[in-house]
Amino acid sequence: MNYELIPKELRPIAEKVEAQQRISEADALALYRANDLNALGMIASVVREQKNGNYATYIHNRYINYSNICILSCQFCAFAAKKRDAHAFEYAIDEIIQVVRDALCLGVTEVHMVGGLHPTLKKEWYLELLQRLRALNPNLHIKAFTAIEVRHLAQRIFRMPIRDTLETLRTAGLGSITGGGAEIFDPAVRDKICRGKETAAEWLDVHRTWHSMGGRSTCTMLYGHIETLPQRVDHLRQLRGLQDETDGFTGFVPFAFEPSQSHGILAQVKRASAFEQLRN
C-alpha cells in the first residue's frame, strides 16, 4: 500500500489492515468519518486481495418475490401489502416454476427467493415449491427466505422449532438462506423503522442455527435512514462476532435505504449519495 496516499490519521488503521490485525470499533468509526474515498478504497482493496487475490466472482441468479403479502407493516417497507390492497400479489407455484425454467435456459445457476410473512400459505405450499424447483435441475442452488421468514414459518406455519423447520426446508431443496431482515440491529432504531420484527438476537440465532447445521448464508445492513454511525459499527460488530463463531456467512450486502415512498419518521430521509454508497 502506498502510505503517502493515505491521510495521516488513517495510517495506523491501514497498517493494522495490511498486517491482518483486527480493527477496533473506534477505527471503524474513524473510517466512516473519513472523507478520502481513494484512501478508503485502497485500504478496502488490501482486504479484498488478502481474501480473494485478483479475482472477482459473480453469480447468474434469478431473483423472485413469490408474494408481497405480509402480516407486518415495517415503517421503512414499500414492498409489503395486505391481502385487500390493490398492489398485493401472490404467484402460483406453476408460475414460479415457469420463470425459473426460463431462467435456467439463460444459464442461471441460482434462484434467490423471498417474500413477505404470508398469513395463509400452507407448509405444503412451501415444500412443494422447493421440491419442484429442485426437480427442475439438481444443480440449481436454491437460496431462499430471510431469517424473519424462517421464524414466521417455524412459529406460525410449520409449528416446529427453528432447527426442525430449517431441516425440513433443506430436505425439500433449500440450499442456503438469505441475509435480509437484519436492517440495523440497534433496538431503538428497530422500534422506529420495523416495530414488531425479530430482534437482533433472534436474527442472529436463525443464522447461527443454520450455520451449525453446515448451512451457509449471507448477511446485510440497511443503512442511510435514521441510524447513526456508531449504530452501523455496532451492527457490523455483531455480524463479525457471528462470523468469528461459525464462519458461515459467504457475503455481506449493504443496502442503501430507498426513500422514494417513505413516510412518517422516514419522510425527510434523503437517498444515500454515491459517495456514501461507495463508503459502505
Residue ranges in contact with ligand SF4 by CB under 6 A: 70, 72-74, 77, 79-80, 116-117, 148, 194, 197
179: cell is 441475509
Q: In which element (H, E) is residue 144 found?
A: strand 141-144
In the bound state with ligand SF4, the residue whose beta carbon lies nearer, of 73 and 228, is 73
Q: What is the largest CA-CA distance in the chain?
A: 61
In the bound state with ligand SF4, the residue whose beta carbon lies nearer, of 79 and 91, is 79
CB 255 to ligand SF4: min, Å: 11
In the bound state with ligand SF4, the residue whose beta carbon lies nearer, of 193 and 233, is 193
Distance, CA of 104 to CA of 84 (rounded, Å): 34
CB 222 to ligand SF4: min, Å: 9
CB of 134 closer than 8 Å to CB of 172:
yes
Distance, CA of 212 to CA of 192 (rounded, Å): 32
CB 75 to ligand SF4: min, Å: 9
In the bound state with ligand SF4, the residue whose beta carbon lies nearer, of 151 and 211, is 151
Checking 231-237 for CB contacts under 8 A at 24+ apart, the result is 231/184, 231/185, 231/186, 231/189, 232/32, 232/184, 233/25, 233/28, 233/29, 233/32, 234/25, 234/185, 234/186, 235/182, 235/184, 235/185, 235/186, 236/28, 237/25, 237/28
Q: What are phi and psi of 70, to 5 degrees?
A: -145, 140
Tell me how crowded residue 45 is: count the other CB atoms within 10 A of its CB: 12
CB 77 to ligand SF4: min, Å: 3
CA-closest candidate to residue 218, choices 255, 248, 184? 248
In the bound state with ligand SF4, the residue whose beta carbon lies nearer, of 42 and 259, is 259
CB 54 to ligand SF4: min, Å: 37
In the bound state with ligand SF4, the residue whose beta carbon lies nearer, of 70 and 200, is 70
In the bound state with ligand SF4, the residue whose beta carbon lies nearer, of 203 and 210, is 203
- For 103, 181, 191, 235, 279, the CA distances from 196, given in Å and listed in that order, are 36, 12, 7, 19, 30
CB 121 to ligand SF4: min, Å: 14
CB 236 to ligand SF4: min, Å: 21
